[in-house]
Amino acid sequence: MAKTVALLLGVHAHQPVGNFESVLDDAHQRCYGPFIRVLHEYPDFHFAIHLSGWLLEYMLKHFAEDMALLREMVERGQAELFGAGFTEPVLASIPSVDRVGQINTLSKYLKQELGQQPVGAWLTERVWESSVVPALADAGIRYVTVDDYHFMCSGKESSVLNGFYTTEEDGRKVDLFPISEALRYRLPFSPAHEVVGYLESLAQEDGQAAAVYFDDIEKFGIWPETYQWVYERGWLRQFIEGVLNSDIIKPMRYADYHQQSRTKGVVYLPTTSYIEMNEWTLPAAAAHEYADLVSRERDGHRYEQTKPYVRGGIWRNFFMRYPESNWMHKRMLELSKRYHALPKAKQTAAMLHALYEAQANDAYWHGLFGGLYLPHLRRAIYQAIIRLEALLDEVEARPQQQILDIDLDGHDELFLHNGSLQAIILLDGSAAIAELDSYQHKHNFADSLTRQAEHYHRKVHAAQAPAHSGEGIGNPHDHMTSKHEISPEDLATDSRRRALFNDSWVDGGGNHHPLHYGRDDHGGPDCEFATILPSQSSALLRKRYSLDKQRLSVSYSLANEQVSDGYLRVEINLAMPSCDGPAGRFRQGDHIPGGFGQPLNQDNLDKIILEDEVLGGAVELKTSIPCQFSSAPHLSVSQSEAGFEKIMQAVTLTLQWPVSALSQEVVVTLKFS
Cα–Cα distance, 76 to 25 (Å, whole number): 28
Residue type, 579: C
Q: Is 645 a catalytic residue?
A: no
24, containing H or E segment: helix 21-27
Selection from 581, 587, 656, 649 nearest residue 618 by Cα: 587
128-to-153, 176, 248, 567 alpha-carbon distances in Å:
12, 11, 33, 53
Catalytic residue among 57, 169, 216, 412: 216
Q: Which residues contact 666 (CB under 8 A, 6 or more apart)?
A: 555, 556, 557, 568, 623, 624, 625, 657
Q: Name the 3-class secondary structure at 378.
A: helix
* Distinct helix (H) and strand (E) counts, the chain: 19, 27
Selection from 152, 228, 141 nearest residue 188 by Cα: 228
Do residues 45 and 240 touch, judged by C-beta distance below 8 A? yes
Do residues 61 and 25 touch, judged by C-beta distance below 8 A? no
Hey, which residues does 503 pair with through a beta bridge? 570
Q: What letter does residue 440 receive in the DSSP assignment?
A: T
Q: Kindly tell me the burial class for residue 553, based on how many C-beta atoms sit within 10 Å of its own C-beta (0-12, 13-18, 19 or more).
A: middle
**Is the previous residue joined to 188 through a cis bond, with omega within 30 degrees of 0?**
yes
Q: Is 125 a catalytic residue?
A: yes
Q: Name the 3-class secondary structure at 207.
A: coil
Cα–Cα distance, 354 to 356 (Å, whole number): 5
Hey, which residues does 402 pair with through a beta bridge? 415
Residue type, 247: D
Catalytic residue among 88, 98, 125, 324: 125
Cα–Cα distance, 408 to 232 (Å, whole number): 52
Burial readout 326-362 (b: 16 or more C-beta within 10 A, e: otherwise): bbbbbbbbebbebbeeeeeeebeeebbbbbbbbbbbb
Q: What are phi and psi of 324, to 5 degrees?
A: -70, -40
Q: Name the 3-class secondary structure at 222.
A: coil
Do residues 41 and 65 touch, judged by C-beta distance below 8 A? no
Active site residues: 125, 216
